[in-house]
Amino acid sequence: AQTVTQSQPEMSVQEAETVTLSCTYDTSESDYYLFWYKQPPSRQMILVIRQEAYKQQNATENRFSVNFQKAAKSFSLKISDSQLGDAAMYFCAYRTGANSKLTFGKGITLSVRP
């Protein structure tokens, strides 16, 4: 069974600084997709960034980027120039193949200090 592990329950960052959220996963598949979702206090979850396992280049979306280490099965999210609106729970997620389920980690609560 595929598992997604987020070992840090909470993190804090100073506004305008950079923070990295960790995620590891376990799979026997060679082709899969990884995602980071953000869940603000309003609770509507939104996609932050996604990475295809077959791509060596790390995905980037504005201030958000990932460090994808396929051999180590590691998928961390880096948030640059942190803003107050970045405060939320962040979930790492994994999916493989059509009709497969999206499996989430337990999440990490990120707080941003003004």
Helix, strand or coil, per DSSP, at residue 86: helix
Closer residue to other proteins (CB): 85 or 114 = 85
Alpha-carbon separation of residue 73 from 39, 66, 81, 82 (angstroms): 24, 13, 26, 26
Closer residue to other proteins (CB): 4 or 77 = 4
Among 33, 67, 76, 80, binds other proteins (CB under 8 A): 33
28 contacts other proteins (rule: CB under 8 A): no
∠ CA 5-52-109, rounded to 5°: 35
Residues that bind other proteins (CB under 8 A): 4, 32-33, 37, 42-47, 50, 52, 91, 93, 95-107
